[in-house]
Structure 1
Amino acid sequence: MSELSFARQFLSALDSRPVKLASDHVQDPRGFPAQSAYILPKTPSLPTKRKRDADATTAPGTSPAAPTLTVALKNLKAPNYNVALAGQPLSASIYDLKTAYVEKAGLTTPVDKIKLLFNKKPTQDSKTLKDLLGDTAVSTKEVELTVMAMGPLVTKNEAEPATTKDAPAAAGASSATTMLQSDAFWHELQGFISQKIGGDQEAERLTRQFKTSWEKSR
């Protein structure tokens, strides 16, 4: 049986059935039985959840504690002068860290003779830990800074008291001569020049020239 024959047979079967409602049937709605409108029940209100405080450990009426971190000050030339400063706030400046380093290490070296490097780059005294770390300051728990001393590190026990008025000048001259005779001074000078001009070969040449001139002037 083809599709056309099936369609004709199906329509003929429908035509033989009685039509209950005409296509143009109309009925007055007022004749429908009266009944009340069905109203949906109201949704019960759910209890509101209490918002949890950002810091549950903070006592009511108190502000959360400021984040702190541990600052590891490492001297690559003299590891025995490595110092760890715990509980340092993000507002601590480089100058504050240098002062704390000199005090904790028991040094008599002036603070301005101490340089701190972060990622092998010199830092300014006015910079804070937050400035150095940037967006990672809050999540950082420990940071490492390299200590570079512009001269020998002398502890308070090693410093000799002056006995006469000329003793400080003589001690200063002797200390300067001893410092210039040490290879560590020229190595640190070469590193300082290399950081300033950005060239290792040129820094080595200038350091060698300075050392030769000093040796000739003795």
Structure 2
Amino acid sequence: MRPPLAEAGSTASATEAIRAAITSGSFAPNQRLVEAELSEQFGTSRAAVRNALIELAAEGLVERIQNRGARVRAVPLAEAVEITEVRMVLEGLCAAKAAERATEEDRRTLEGIGERMRAAVSGGDPLTYSALNQELHGRILAISGQRTACAVLERLRAQQVHHQFRLAMQPGRTTVSLPQHLAVIEAVRSGDAAAAEAAMRAHLASVVAALPETAPPSDLMRGL
């Protein structure tokens, strides 16, 4: 039986709010998610929060434990590597499609993002660079027009957000990834689909290689 329309809308709002808190880092991995607290924080009913947590568990962002409630799911290193390997394939495809479909306005937008990324690196501002990194990847996905791939990638990237943030904060990481991102931008702007796919895959292969630097000691001790 479907929930009443008002309740469904409330659930959607609660889902969006909790998802945003997780993907922005406001809620940390393994943090308990208490229905009463979330209901008060987001100004919605406990039923809406409960339904939202069920939806987010299906997305892989929340872990529901019998008789212990829910918590933000901590994605282990091995899974983060697998996610990035899947991203290599899908984002490579999207980069190729973006190169084929980019308009002159799209090319100018990508060039502007690249210029701001350069400025962030030269200014020693990894937080701004990290935000621009997300903006660049999102813009390429939008240009590609690959709606199915974009929907899958949105879920995968959300599960990986904490690993991505820790990697972005690694000393020297921005100087490694900047030329990779600029290569992707140049290939898309030039309309070279093969080069765009290769550049995106090379960038994400670099992320796979660097991910162990983000792992907590417990993961490394387990050989994950």
TM-score (norm 2): 0.25
Q: Could you say which structure has the higher strand fraction?
A: 1
TM-score (norm 1): 0.26
Higher relative contact order (CA 8 A, sep 6+): 2
Q: Could you say which structure has the higher helix fraction?
A: 2
